[in-house]
Structure 1
């Protein structure tokens, strides 16, 4: 079994590491030159950290990021209005982790290199030439042809691999622009010896501000705000990203009523450290896999774009990668026929699509909670959480990916049952249940 992976981001590196741990050969193809580092940071919740821990990466990641349990919601007078628990070692096994993207990718790349997984940088995927029940042949931009048992597209929201599966589907701009500034400043109460830096969301009448400590000691903070902004061409987005004076003015609009400690953090902004993130959404794909053979598979943002509000974009990409790798390795050992292999991939896809839908609903509710109160109050009940409500997130953060009807697949088991009838394929979750509704076959 040989798996070709397009993209060396979080999803691509994670599936490669998991496949390698299960004895499956893989090669990563990345269009960027090494080393590319990227911008921004990730919020990793217990559901992703648990999987990264199984790959032997958590201890190193934890020591290089900011660990926290709660996100505080505060108003313009700096009064706590609510607390959202994103991590809890006693309840979920882990705190949440805020880690810069360059550091996160460096840790994963180091593990990939240490384990001898081949990565071909500056190697751009072009298109699929042929796909059969046995495998897929694709072409690189330099003309090279590659044949593999499986092709995995982990190449982001603007995926080129997706064109083979859903050629008419493309991401579109949501109308929301995140403006982010990184400052070297410890954000905490005035008496910093009494209280550690705190992840805080300030919700005002006309604007909102998210303050996210970074680095292990919280010595750096990410300040983020969101603005409605008209759609731009690709060239205009690039031009805006370099117009630091304009970005600064956009960022500072409606900040005059923030508490003094927010205003103090704002004084540390270096215009050169301001960047933008236009939020793109992706229409639901009827399939993340190629039909009928399912030898080309999409992961992460290539299959589903989840806004970053609750940190589940990266977390669900890691879940995609880990669970798919487990399915592939189990199916490879079972030596299934191509038809049964395709059915097993379909089983994985169905389970993942249902979990992603629930994660999207959660993210939208949390995103609505970040809106200025004037905008949030216009929304219907049920589309955001009222102050004081604390939804049960054990289905998302708890041990196992299957604590609700939106189950993630940990592995697929193939059982040849006695008596007449076809081979039954069951999707097995880590808590021992099968299928989408308890102990039943999900494909026959």
Structure 2
């Protein structure tokens, strides 16, 4: 029963990213002694944007930090504003029908989470991949898509798989005219825009690529070339982004694992279930993980708690992975017939259908902490 397990645990979170920090916040909220070990020499996040959907914001509310985190966000209407690369709008955001996302600069979301923890709690320049190296009752492995803990615990599990390639950028304050959120569908590529606080915007260009690792002498010039005949707003936003502010990464994901836990170790976030960003659920699922794990450890001894965490999170993660992969295929497909089909069907979709598609993701309810 809830509240029957009162003993404080010694918990170590391996990985100081968004999922790891959220896990530390959640575990401290439920009364545990927490240490975060981060292998990087300093704490920082990359200069890119991301959005959190209602399910993640609800989880942050359950941690008592939702309002403080929201102050660093801007509303994004991207899920209700879709257009083609020729500039034709297929759907426009409508108040009351469509629900906005909360868009953040990653570094500012990261700083907001970090501010919720004592400075002495996080130890940088510390890398561990072996549970025997960690003196703790429970270990939260939030060490990313290339997780050393996952590889050690499940050596037979497939390595992360390549899906497509993506560029991301953030404009400086006032460098570009004010923009509205949008998701532009092209043949074999997409372009997404979120406004950010402070007169900035972030964008992402995703494109089909046959093999990982392709890089260009100037990533900014390559993006400029690829969107040369796309809507003016897209071209202007790229032009307003400094060349050093353009990031190029391969998009990877994971096949479902046989378990998210082993012994006293719980995998969390991308270490357990990395997904393509096409549903905007990567960080959201890590935040969900953190709240569920903390609630399980509050209510049960460690073995039962980790079993409950695994039972709650693995089926949901498998569903999100399947849906995100499907959307990634559609978003980067160069098939003319699929692009034509989407341009015909998207404007005709009733709001109830679109809401029904989002409901399994967005309507998730966190446990009370």
Question: Is TM-score (shorter-chain normalized) higher than 0.5?
Answer: yes
Q: Using the TM superposition, give the Cα deviation of residue 251 of structure 1 relative to its aligned residue in structure 2, in angstroms.
A: 1.3
1:324 aligns with 2:324: no
Query: What is residue 121 of structure 2 aligned with on the other side?
Result: 118
Match of 1:362 in 2: 323
Q: Does 1:306 align with 2:275?
A: yes
Partner of 2:49: 41
- Kindly report which structure 2 residues correspond to 1:43-442, keeping only aligned pairs within 5 A, or say none: 43-71=51-79, 72-83=81-92, 95-113=100-118, 118-128=121-131, 138-139=132-133, 146-184=134-172, 197-205=179-187, 207-214=189-196, 216-217=197-198, 219-231=199-211, 240=215, 243-245=216-218, 247-290=219-262, 294-332=263-301, 341-371=302-332, 374-375=334-335, 377-378=337-338, 386-389=346-349, 390-392=354-356, 393-398=358-363, 400=365, 410=367
Q: Work out which structure has the larger RCO, using CA pairs closer than 8 Å and 6 or more positions apart in sequence.
A: 2
Deviation at 1:310, TM superposition (A): 1.5
Q: Give the match's secondary structure for 1:64.
A: coil
Alpha-carbon spacing, 1:157–1:125, altered in 2? closer, same or farther (3 Å): same
- 1:91/1:181 CA distance change after superposition, 3 Å: closer
Superimposed CA distance per residue, residues 148-172 of structure 1 (whole angstroms, 9 cap, x where no aligned partner): 1111101111111113320233533
User: For the structure 1 residues 200 and 173, does the alpha-carbon distance in structure 2 shift closer, same or farther, using more than 3 Å as the test?
Assistant: same
- Which one has a bigger Cα radius of gyration? 1
Partner secondary structure for residue 332 of structure 2 = coil
Query: Quick check: 1:73–1:202 contact (8 Å CA) kept in 2?
Result: yes
With 176-185 and 270-279 compared, the bigger mean Cα shift is at 176-185
Q: Provide Cα deviations, 1:319-350, integer angstroms capped at 9, x if missing partner.
A: 01110110001114xxxxxxxx5344223212
Do 1:30 and 1:120's aligned partners in 2 also have CA atoms closer than 8 Å? yes
* Alignment equivalent of 1:12, drawn from 15, 20, 44: 20
Unaligned runs of 5+ in 2: 1-8
- Give RMSD over aligned pairs: 3.2
Count residues with an aligned counterpart. 354
Task: Provide Cα deviations, 1:14-49, integer angstroms capped at 9, x if missing partner.
Answer: 111111111111211111123323232221001011
CA apart distance, 1:397: 1.5
> Deviations along 1:96-125, whole A, 9 cap, x unmatched?
111111111111111112xx7722211111
Q: Is contact 2:256-2:318 (8 Å) kept? A: no
Q: Distance in 1 between matches of 2:151 and 2:364?
A: 35
CA-to-partner distance for each residue in 1:195-222, whole Å, 9 max, x for gaps?
xx421112234643222222x25x2222
TM-score (norm 1): 0.71
TM-score when scaled to structure 2? Answer: 0.84
Query: How far apart are residue 365 of structure 1 and its match?
Result: 3.9
Aligned counterpart, 1:414: none
Higher helix proportion (structure 1 or 2): 2
CA drift at 1:253: 3.1
For 1:369 and 1:231, how far apart are their aligned partners in 2? 18
Write the distance in 2 (CA, Å) between the matches of 1:342 and 1:397.
30
Taking structure 1 as reference, are residues 119 and 264 closer, same or farther at Cα in structure 2, changes over 3 Å only? closer
Local SS of the residue matching 1:59 = helix
